[in-house]
């Protein structure tokens, strides 16, 4: 690929750098995992196996990442390698929504997170540095804005209400005194007539 332009060379170097970083990260993780798996083996087998696995996995990831990047940079119109790159991006706000998330903490308090979630319509424009052909890619993306978090302390339950005091017992009703018996054969008081005299 000696006939690559300066833009193509820079694009190829960027893809190669990204693939190298990904290969190194995944290779190191695979090597550490191999050390843990081979814990019961001898020192030479354990460390030697971990190095071999790390290099093998790292190379496979590098190769897959580089191949994917090279394919995305290939111009479909003229077939030039490492010539297609994003030249422009246009974002339009499609919607905005207030959201809240409540998460209980180990101490029974509640972490409350609020944010504004914005959805954007995105149009990416890709251009070929070799032939100038352009095409677009449309998709949606979401972003969080004005995110805040507060912790609400745990509120203990209210104490139970005390039972109402018992009402005092009602006083017993007093018995009515017995009626006086009518006198028999005794002298009853004289009755007055209508004129005011005593009737004999």
Those residues whose C-beta lies under 8 Å from the C-beta of residue 41, and which sit 6 or more positions away, are 49
Question: Which residues on neighbouring strands pair with residue 123, listed in sequence order?
Answer: 90, 138
Band of residue 65 on the pLDDT scale cut at 50, 70, 90: very high
Q: For the chain, how big is the Rg over CA atoms in Å?
A: 49
pLDDT in tens, 77-123: 888 888 888 889 999 999 999 999 999 888 888 999 999 999 999 99
DSSP conformational letter for 179? P
181-183-186 Cα angle (round to 5): 170
Q: How high is the pLDDT of residue 187?
A: 55
In the numeric block, which tokens belong to residue 96? 């905005």
In the numeric block, which tokens belong to residue 139? 């998709």
Those residues whose C-beta lies under 8 Å from the C-beta of residue 169, and which sit 6 or more positions away, are none
Q: What percent of the chain has pLDDT over 70?
A: 88
In this predicted model, which residue has the larger pLDDT, 95 or 5? 95
Burial of 169 (0-12, 13-18, 19+ CB in 10 A): exposed
> What is the value of pTM for the model shown?
0.52
Q: Could you identify the residue written with the tokens 């090597």?
A: 31
Band of residue 40 on the pLDDT scale cut at 50, 70, 90: confident
Band of residue 139 on the pLDDT scale cut at 50, 70, 90: very high
Q: How high is the pLDDT of residue 194?
A: 52
Question: Comparing C-alpha atoms, which of 136, 133, 139 is closest to residue 124?
Answer: 136
In the numeric block, which tokens belong to residue 177? 């005194």
Q: How high is the pLDDT of residue 60?
A: 95
């Amino acid at each position: 690929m000696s006939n690559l332009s300066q833009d193509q060379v820079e694009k190829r170097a960027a893809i190669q750098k990204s693939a190298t970083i990904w290969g190194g990260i995944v290779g190191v993780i695979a090597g550490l995992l191999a050390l843990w798996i081979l814990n019961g083996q001898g020192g030479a087998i354990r460390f030697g196996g971990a190095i071999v696995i790390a290099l093998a996995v790292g190379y496979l990831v590098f190769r897959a990442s580089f191949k994917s990047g090279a394919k995305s940079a290939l111009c479909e119109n003229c077939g030039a390698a490492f010539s297609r790159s994003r030249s422009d991006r246009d974002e339009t706000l499609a919607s905005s929504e207030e959201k809240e998330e409540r998460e209980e903490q180990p101490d029974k308090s509640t972490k409350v997170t609020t944010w504004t979630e914005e959805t954007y319509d995105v149009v990416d424009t890709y251009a070929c540095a070799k032939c100038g052909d352009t095409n677009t890619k449309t998709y949606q993306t979401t972003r969080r804005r004005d995110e805040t978090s507060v912790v609400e302390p745990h509120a203990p339950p209210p104490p139970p209400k005390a039972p109402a005091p018992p009402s005092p017992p009602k006083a017993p009703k007093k018995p009515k005194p017995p009626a006086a018996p009518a006198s028999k054969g005794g002298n009853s008081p004289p009755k007055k007539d209508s004129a005011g005299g005593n009737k004999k």
